[in-house]
Every structure is written in C-alpha cells, then in structure tokens.
Structure 1
Amino acid sequence: AILYGLIPQAAKELTSYTVYRWECAIRASVVMGFVGAGGLGQLMDQAMKMLNGGEAASILLTFLALVFVADLISRTLRRGLDKAPAAHAMPFGPFSIALLVIFFGAISASFWLLDISFGALFSREAASSISQFLGSFFPPDLSAPWLLKVAQGTWETLAISAVGTLFAALTGLLLALARPRWPFNVFFNALRSVPELVWATITALSVGLGPFAGVLALALHTTGVLGRLYVEALDNAPAAPGRALRLSGAPSGLAFLYGTLPGAAPQLIAYTLYRWEMNIRMAAILGFVGAGGLGQLLYFELSLFHYTQASTVIIAMLLLSFAVDQTSAWLRQRMA
C-alpha cells in the first residue's frame, strides 16, 4: 500500500524538497570549509588569506557553476514530476528507477571519497576528548565588563542585520520592477548563489574588517533572495485593481502604488521579516571572517583558548536566536 499508493502521490513533494535541501547543503558545505571542513570553502579561505585573487575568482566561478547545475537539475526533476506517469505494473517508472540508482550511486561514491569513519567518532577516546572540551566551557564568564562587551557585540549584530536587510529590501524591490525581467533574474540567481560568508570574505578585503563588510555581505546575498521572492509576490498579486486604475486613466506608477502594491504588501512584508530573522543569525556568523558582531568576538576568544568567555558569547547567540523567533512570530500574528 505504501509503495503503490502513498509514495507515488508524495513523490513530487519529497523530491522537490530533497533537491531544495541539497541546494542549501551545497552552499552550507562551502561555508563549513572556512572552519577547516574541506571542499571549495577551505580552498577559498586559503586563497583569500594568501591574497591570491586569481585562485579565489576561479573557485568562486566553479561554485557558481555548481549551484547553477543544481538549479538546472532541480527544474528538470520538477518538470519530470509534473508529467502524468505512464501506466506500468511497477510502483516506480524507468525515470524514477534511474533517479534512485543515480542517487544511491552518488551517496556511495561520496562515502568512499570522504573516507568517513564512524568508529573513530564513537570511540572511547573521542568521547573523553569531547567531554573534556565541553567541560572547559563551564562555568561561563559572567563578569560585568565581559557582559558589557557581549552586549555591545549583540547590538552590533542586530544593527548589521537590520541595515543589510533594509538595503537588500529596497534594492530587491526596485530591481523586481525592472523590465525586461530575465537579465535581473540571472542577476538575482548569481547574488543568492554565493553564500554570505563568501561575500563577507570578499567585502572584508574590499572595505576592510568590521561591521561595514558584514552589512555589504548580507545586502548582496539578500538582494538576490528577496528580489526573486518579490518578483513572485508581485506576479501573484491580484491584477484587477491595477488594471482598473489604468483603464480609468491613472498613470502606471499610481496604478502600481494604489492597485498592485497593496495586494502584494502582506507577502512582501512577510518575506522581508523572514529574511531579517535569518540575517540576524547569519550576522552572528560573519564575524568569523572579520565582519564584526558576536561572531568576531567568538572567533577571537576561541583563537585565544578563552573558552569560558566564548561560552558566554554562545549563550548570547542562543538567547538572541530565541528572542528573534518569538518577536518574528508575534509580528506575523499581528499582521494576520
């Protein structure tokens, strides 16, 4: 019943979300390379530290090509799943079987390439090392001078996220209205394909270390994300009010402001709040490449092996994330 009834009906949603998470994992794997986890991110980090612009540009272009290939595969799979399945005796057709073979082949090849050893992870030596390392973070440093410094880092993180999101929202909305649309869709895809941490590395080399580099990094990536979402929101807005105003003689600008924009405004605001919520978390991470905020504070303390001070910063990050979740939920309820 599951093979012939449930799974074929849910195959489109399962495949779509799996491919989406794979796209996200590609970007995340680049970010993790900046802390020594291998891959293109580690190569990019090394090239940036050596100020080798040619190598960094080659790595960035390779990453962009990888992301665009992932997008192409995603669109191809979605189009294939939109077609009505042919009648056959098996619960899966040739297309689905081929996808499963490719998927499991890729997983097997990945395990072989990465040489993953779960035995080392669950060994007694690993458990002892992990427990000793975690124990060094307690008790956290709660002295008044350090709490004041953490509070300043928290405020800086909030400011970076707010200004970066504001710049992105304004730019994304203006470009979403531009015509013809396809060049700007390519531009949006290029901006959002590069992770914030990679943008932060580039902007830190361009304008120097500090919060301004973080603001630019968030603004560049978020412009690509919000621009794409704004285009979809404006396309899905009711067309009748704007059309009625234009037919009555109103200029196109006023027809958009009083007809189209009010219908799309709730969705635009919801997307902007969601991205601001995500940017607050990302702003706390951008400091690892010198872009200010709590991340830079945490990076310095970990580099100096000041684990009790780092523990306080981590707690501040958790509290900030919890406060953002609650505030965002409250704002969405008020909007509803």
Structure 2
Amino acid sequence: MLKPAQRRDPAALPRLLLTVLALALLWPGLQLSELNLAVLVAPDNLRNMGQFVSGFWPPAHDRDFLELLAQATLQTLAIATAGMALAWLLAMPLALLASRALSISALARGGQPAWWAQALRWPVRGLLIVLRSVPEIVWALLFVRAVGLGPTAGVLAIAITYAGMLGKVYAEIFESVDLRPTRALLLAGSPRLAAFAYGLLPNAAGEMLSYSVYRWECAIRASVVMGFVGAGGLGQQIDLSLRMFAGAEVASMLLTFLLLVLLADSLSRWLRGRLT
C-alpha cells in the first residue's frame, strides 16, 4: 500500500498554477474581445438567422449558374496554384540565404557560423518577417488598386504572403535535419548547390512537401476570402450573390467550396503517402 504522500501527484501543484495563470491571462482577453455568446440565442437574432438560412434552400442548380460556378471554381484553383508556384520560387532562394545549413564558415566552428555570416542573414530573415506579417487580404487590396479587379491580384497576394511563410519554415527545416551528409560534401570541396541537391534536399524533402501541400490547402481557402475584395474566384461570386440576397446561389457555392476543400485534403493525403 502506498502512503498518501506517495499517491500524491508531484506535478499537481505546477499544473494548478499553470491553470490559474492561463485563466488569469484569458479573462482580460475575453473582456477585450467583448465576447457575448448570449446574443446568439436571443429570440430576435434566432428569428433573423432562421429567415436568412431558409433562403439557402434549395441550392441553385440551373444550367447557366452551374457554368458560372464551374468557371469560378477553376479560377479559384488556378489562383491558389499559381500563387503557390510563385511563392515557392521566391521562398527557396530566401530560405537558403536565411539558413546556416550550407554555411562554410560554420564547418570549423562546430556548426556555429561566423558573426559576419550571421549578420548577412538578418536582412533576409527580416524580409521574410515583413512578407508574412502582412495578411494576404491586405496585399490583395493593394494589388487590386495596382492591377485592377481580377485573379491577378489574388495570385500576387498569395505569392507575397506565402513566400514569407514557406521561406521561414524551409529555413528551419534545413537546419533541423541531419546535416552530416551536407557538411561532408562541403568539406570535400563540393559546391554549395551540389551539397544542397545531394546532401540537404534528400533529408528535407519529406517535411518540405508536407508543409507545402498544407499551405496549398490554405491558399485555396485564402483565394476564396480574397475574392470578397475583388480578387476573382468563388469569393467574388459569393460576395455578388450576397449583395443580391441570392441565398440559393450562395448555398451552391458554399457546397462547392466544401467539396473543393475535401478534394484538396484527399489529394494532400495521397501525395504524402506517395512521396514521403
């Protein structure tokens, strides 16, 4: 039989303190956000929401609308894919510049590069912070002003924002994998590009692919949101239908978007299974 002192959880007090601290930090946040769940069950609000949702059924399915819906869906996919392709082209060189995985000065210092090499990476890391700190919808608003309404603004907005995200994560992946093959190639006199292709990339490809596919899924959702500011695709059509109180059309587009996300999720699972 264990004594009462032995049955006591030694981590109980730290967990209790962390719980109290979390609640103490959460309460001011709830106050500042002015969260009030009671308004959702107020009779007037329930009646208004019921009337609004009732207009969504049955979903629109006439031929002209379905043709428009198919075009908007393909445009959404094109925006997300083209934006991710441009983001990848920007992110790869930035990630290599921001990472110390290929640093030659670190070979003789136990993996720690020289101070001047670190200083040269800070501007690149600062650029990645700037790119990803501005939300894609803000970039979309700026590009709509610059290039006009249409999918071009959405593609550029996704490319800029996601380049910062991909570049940061790629650089961290490069530094977290086993660097012994890369350093062996560099010590043998191999060029950095060859050391990257044959030493670093094979170890990092799985994680890079997994994160890239996840970001492509996010880009599909982001392209719909950016459509509300005139960047084309399903979002722009949903915005127009909402303005005209065409609930049936909105329902059809929301169902299409749901199927689109499910398709992207299935494709990402298949790619991870085949290529990782």
Following TM superposition, the consecutive aligned residue runs of length 4 or more in structure 1 with deviations greater than 6 angstroms are none
Q: How many residues align?
A: 249
Q: Report which of the two structures shows the higher radius of gyration computed on alpha carbons.
A: 2
Aligned to 1:33: none
Letter in 1 for 2:163: T
Q: What does 1:39-188 align with in structure 2 at a 5 Å threshold?
A: 91-92=16-17, 99-100=21-22, 103-107=25-29, 109-110=31-32, 114=34, 116-178=35-97, 180-188=120-128
**Helix, strand or coil: the match of 1:206?**
helix
What's the TM-score once normalised by structure 2's chain length?
0.83
For residues 53-110 of structure 1, give each alpha carbon's deviation from its aligned partner in whole angstroms, at most 9, with x where no partner exists. Answer: xxxxxxxxxxxxxxxxxxxxxxxxxxxxxxxxxxxxxx53xxx599447514513532
TM-fit CA distance, 1:206: 1.4
Mapped to 2, the partners of 1:228 and 1:105 lie a distance apart of 32
TM-fit CA distance, 1:118: 3.9
Q: Tell me, yes or no, if the aligned pair for 2:209 and 2:272 is still in contact at 8 Å.
A: no
**Percent identity among equivalent residues?**
37
Letter in 1 for 2:142: I
What's the TM-score once normalised by structure 1's chain length?
0.69
TM-fit CA distance, 1:209: 0.9
Q: Which segments of 5 or more consecutive residues in structure 2 lack a partner in the other structure?
A: 1-6, 99-119
Higher relative contact order (CA 8 A, sep 6+): 2
Aligned to 2:11: 5
**Helix, strand or coil: the match of 2:11?**
helix
1:240/1:153 CA distance change after superposition, 3 Å: same
Aligned to 2:247: 307
**Does 2:140 match 1:200?**
yes
TM-fit CA distance, 1:120: 3.5
1:248/1:283 CA distance change after superposition, 3 Å: same
1:2/1:230 CA distance change after superposition, 3 Å: farther
For residues 148-204 of structure 1, give each alpha carbon's deviation from its aligned partner in whole angstroms, at most 9, with x where no partner exists. Answer: 110110100000000100111111111111262222222212221211111111111
Mapped to 1, the partners of 2:71 and 2:200 lie a distance apart of 41
Mapped to 2, the partners of 1:137 and 1:175 lie a distance apart of 46
Aligned Cα RMSD in Å?
2.3
1:195/1:2 CA distance change after superposition, 3 Å: farther
TM-fit CA distance, 1:266: 1.4
